[in-house]
Amino acid sequence: MTDDSRNPNHDSSRRRLIQAAGIAAMAGASSFTQRAVAADAPAATAIPLSDPRQLFPHPPFRAQPQPWPGLASKMDPRPDHGEHSYRGSGRLAGRKALITGGDSGLGRAAAIAYAREGADVAINYLPQEESDARDVQGLVQQAGRKFVGLPGDIRNESFCRDLVSRAAVELGGLDIFVNCAGRQHTHDDILDVSTEDFDWTLKTNLYALFWLTKAAIPHMKPGSAIIFTSSTNAYNPSVNILDYSITKAGIANFAKGLAKQLVGRGIRVNAIAPGPFWTALQVSGGQTAENVEKLGGDVPIGRPGQPVEIAPIYVQLASTESSYMTGQVVGVNGGVGLP
Ligand code: NAD
Ligand code: MG
């Protein structure tokens, strides 16, 4: 089965159609379709339709608990971050991106896509995740782009400042800041959430975001983009991750407010609100074993998303193609009807 978005000809065909449309309009052509087809004909290959319900693995999954923060390399099935499928078309050529949580999951999918779209990429991750980060290093370098690995714990303010400044120095600038690092830990009962747990979640998901964003802004020129990672839990909190859901609502709100402020600097700010995705966060304490086994079974598409399925949105929001999008929260959630 083939996913349209991962067809090697998808983006280039689309570009040729757009170019042909422009040519047709300038020439006063009576039929856009005729001109577009004619211009595209030599390289056009039919892209097979794919039913999104049939793509990728479905529950039930093995519970497969891992110690926090978990490794993508130990998951079964292995998450699909686009390693073998994402094809770039120069949409981020020459950009310099910092991605927190870039070793695995949604952050790794963004890192692979950004590199294949022509960006140099710095990632932050925890020291325990060095092996996952090395895999990302190989993939970014195979794409011919610069890779910068910056391990460390973002719950520390001075580390956050240092992280951004080292990324900007080593990349030679900073155009894109993506926050994918996040802490999610399941507790069935609020009475079991200690102050330490609460602090851990808020430090990782909100304080670090505040510190990192403050550090990033002075490096960013007009045209730069900031992308936060919220969640459907911002709108419809799951019963067992209350502290996490508070932070994800805060992140969505932060993106909307900050966007209004940073438009004065020509910087766009958006957030992505994913539904259930098959990542290490789920199996390393983020969900109960029972919920891991049936992950994604309750969304209309009937399965969890794979990280590769969200990568195009991280690309789109970073790209100048989205020049009129700021302060938005974009949902990617298998059809649950939330942003
Ligand atoms: P993931 O485990 O692959 O990525 C999360 C990353 O967060 C880790 O790789 C780790 O490097 C980083 N991290 C956690 N604590 C850190 C700390 N103290 N210091 C530095 N880095 C730290 O899981 P993922 O699902 O890809 O998560 C990425 C983002 O997506 C998170 O913000 C998560 O809340 C969000 N999200 C995930 C889902 C989902 O279903 N997987 C749904 C909605 C939102
Ligand atoms: Mg990880």
152-194 tens-digit pLDDT: 999 999 999 999 999 999 999 999 999 999 999 999 999 999 9
> pLDDT-derived band of residue 47, with 50, 70 and 90 as boundaries?
confident
Q: Which residues are paired to 329 by β-bridges?
A: 271
- Report how far ligand 2's centroid is from the alpha carbon of 35 (Å): 47
Say yes or no to pLDDT of 25 above 90: no
Give the model's pLDDT for residue 41.
Answer: 53
pLDDT of residue 27: 38
Residue 160: CB atoms within 10 A of its CB come to 25
Q: Which of 57, 14, 92, 21 lies closest to 305, judged by CA?
A: 57
State pTM to two decimals.
0.90
Atom of ligand 1 nearest to the CA of 106: 26
Q: Mind listing the domains of the chain with CATH numbers?
A: 90-332 (3.40.50.720)
pLDDT of amino acid 45: 87
Amino acid at 222: P
Q: What is the pLDDT of residue 188?
A: 97
Query: Region 250-275: what's the mean pLDDT?
Result: 98
Query: 157 by DSSP, 3-state: which?
Result: helix
The secondary structure element, H or E, covering residue 179 is: strand 176-179
For the segment 74-99, the average pLDDT, to the nearest whole number, is: 98
Question: Quick one: average pLDDT of 23-34?
Answer: 36
Nearest-5° Cα angle at 238, 237 to 242: 70
Q: Which of 123, 206, 245, 279 to mutate to test the pocket of ligand 1 (most atoms within 8 A of CB)?
A: 279
Among 26-30, 170-174, 194-198, 326-330, the minimum mean pLDDT is found in 26-30
pLDDT, tens digit, 9 for 90 and up, residues 192-237: 999 999 999 999 999 999 999 999 999 999 999 999 999 999 999 9
Name the residue of 112, 202, 247, 281 whose CB sits within 8 Å of the most ligand 1 atoms, as the mutation to test its pocket: 281
Q: If we measure between CA atoms, which residue out of 213, 5, 246 comes closest to residue 98?
A: 213
103 CB within 6 A, ligand 1: yes
Least-confidence region, from 30-44, 72-86, 141-155, 243-257: 30-44
Instruction: Provide the b/e sequence for 87-104 (b: ≥16 CB within 10 Å).
Output: bbbebbeebbbbbbbbbb
The arithmetic mean of pLDDT across residues 248-256, rounded, is 98
How many angstroms is it from 52 CA to the middle of ligand 2?
Answer: 26
Q: Is the CB of 102 under 6 A from ligand 1?
A: no
Q: Measured from the CB, is residue 104 less than 6 Å from ligand 1?
A: yes
pLDDT at 16 over 90: no
pLDDT at 38 over 70: no
The whole-number pLDDT of residue 190 equals: 98
